[in-house]
Amino acid sequence: MLAQIETARKPLEAYTVTAAHKKDLAGILRLVNGEAEKSGAVLGVTKRQVKTWIRGRKLFGRKNSGLSFVAKTPDGTVIGHQAMHVWPKSGWWEHRAVVTAEAYRSNGVNASITAALMEKVAEKAPDSTIVSLKNSASNGRRILDQLGFTRVDDHSKIPGEIFSIGAGGKWEVFIAAARDVKENLPRVKH
């Protein structure tokens, strides 16, 4: 997917959205952990977590332990990242590590990554449930609405393993069926 977007904010150079590769690891860690330290809008990630998503390695005995997608400029700079982690007991896919570099926000980068990632999950696991945790500092709720996610206020309906990462009660929880997300993909505005 290649996008050329101009906004009132500033023109945005072309960027590509693709599955992350080993060479993107340092850029992903810098972007995600930098945002975690700065705003707390995302949880930090470890090198092992990102490698697992990139390689699709076995985690908790599952072959498909996750996915990682990036948006990159032509020079290879990672300007956006999103991942999906598959929880072992429930099989739910958690949308996580959603970050767009500050200089590239409000330009459709986040929507482009979300659309590509959600399409892949719907393809790999059409009968699965996707969960996305957002806090008050997070953006991206509009995209979740477009994809058919609904907010769940009763966290007891969410598998406990999802909260084992330390997200706690400060996060709003949104869920959707992968099949519904796929049907709603054309609604996502990039």
Mind listing the pLDDT tens digit of every residue in the chain (190 residues)? 444 433 334 456 789 999 999 999 999 999 988 887 887 667 778 888 888 888 764 444 445 567 899 999 999 999 999 998 888 889 899 888 888 888 888 888 988 999 999 998 888 888 999 998 876 555 667 888 889 999 998 888 888 888 765 555 567 889 999 999 989 888 776 6
CB 95 within 8 A of CB 82: yes
Domain assignment of residue 13, given as a range: 2-187
* Measured CA distances, 18 to 49, 69, 154 (Å): 18, 6, 35
Supply the CATH number for residue 145's domain. 3.40.630.30
Question: How many structural domains is the chain composed of?
Answer: 1
Beta partners for residue 46, in sequence order: none
Q: What is the pLDDT of residue 178?
A: 92
> Is the Cα torsion angle 74, 75, 81, 87 positive or negative in sign?
positive
Q: DSSP states of 85-150 as a string?
A: EE-TTT-PEEEEEEEE-GGGTTTTHHHHHHHHHHHHHHHH-TT-EEEEEE-TT---HHHHHHHT-E
